[in-house]
Amino acid sequence: MINVEITRNPNENALGVLRRFSRKVQSSGVINRKRSLRYATRVQSPYKVKQKTLKAITRRAALAELVKQGKAPVKPERPGRK
């Protein structure tokens, strides 16, 4: 991690120091890096991806069967999609 350090110039007020510090932090990319790590998820193994896909296919087939039998409502198409 990069530490950002700002020293106050003799003729500079507190607002100027704060502004320079904010600009330096923004340009260093510290905040963007932290935000990207905050929501990062690890890559799933191929086995897990396969199991999830198979489960979705099974669920979709079961729902299609229920729709065919008239036990589940037909999902209307979303307007505005092409």
Give the chain's count of helices (H) and strands (E). 3, 0
What does pTM read for this prediction? 0.47
Q: Which residues contact 20 (CB under 8 A, 6 or more apart)?
A: 6
Distance CA 53, CA 47 (A): 10
Residue recorded with tokens 């191929």: 46
For residue 81, what pLDDT band results from cuts at 50, 70 and 90? low
Which residue type is seen at 29? G
Q: What is the pLDDT of residue 76?
A: 81
For residue range 17-49, what is the model confidence (pLDDT) as tens digits?
999 999 999 998 888 888 888 888 889 999 999
Distance CA 75, CA 7 (A): 63
